[in-house]
Amino acid sequence: MNLRRFNLVLLVLGLALGAILAVLLTRGSEALPGQTEAEKKSQLYVDVSRAATAQVQAFLGVDHENVDAQAQAVLDGATGDFKEQYEAELDNILESAREQESTAVPSVLEVGISDIDTSTATVFVAANTQVTSKATKGETKTVPWRIQLDMVMEGGRWLTSGLQFVG
């Protein structure tokens, strides 16, 4: 009788372990607390890419009727030297957009990250803008852009500390 009871206990334990294993295999890392290093790195890339995309769209986007809000969006995503340079040129940017009745609709084509850690990143963005203004005589022109952004983590957000056009 003891052998039979022992076999029954082993069977129940085997079924319980099998059920636990099945749950862990089907749920993957969701069943475990925290993130793996690969998941953390992947999330870092996603966060930096999103911030770079938003900054390039804000920087390249122009609507002469709403240029103040667009300029504020650039400043909200900027820090350091880039923010200071942009603020220094802001009056000229606003005046030119209004005077030329400029509209530029950006589209980000690709984002590539060349260097990244938890506090800094170097990002390359390929984008186009569809531009109309007095200079284009109202016709829409496609203008390609290749931009390098230096990004830093500040206050829990990725901000642009440097921006330059690259060939």
Instruction: Return the pLDDT at 30.
Output: 52
| Phi, then psi, of 44 in degrees rounded to 5 | -60, -45
User: Distance between the two ends of the chain, CA-based, in angstroms?
Assistant: 83
pLDDT at 4: 74
pLDDT beyond 60 at 31: no
| pLDDT > 80? residue 19 | no
Tell me the helix, strand and coil percentages in the chain, rounded to 5: 50, 30, 20
Q: At 27, give phi and psi (nearest 5°).
A: -95, -15
The mean per-residue pLDDT over the stretch 50-62 comes to 96
Q: CA–CA separation, 8 vs 115, rounded Å?
A: 58
* 159: enclosing H helix or E strand: strand 157-165
Mean pLDDT, the chain, rounded, equals 89
Reported confidence tier of residue 10, pLDDT bands at 50, 70, 90: confident
Question: Quick one: pLDDT band at residue 13, thresholds 50, 70, 90?
Answer: confident
Average pLDDT over residues 105-127: 96
Note the pLDDT of residue 115. Answer: 95
What is the pTM (predicted TM-score) of this model?
0.77
Spatial separation of the C-alpha atoms in residues 69 and 58, rounded to whole Å:
10
**Element housing 24 (H / E):** helix 2-27
In the predicted model, what is the mean pLDDT of residues 73-96?
A: 94
Block residue for tokens 């938890």: 118
Beta strands in 94-156 (DSSP E): 103-116, 120-132, 141-154
Task: Work out the percent of the chain whose per-residue pLDDT is above 70.
Answer: 93
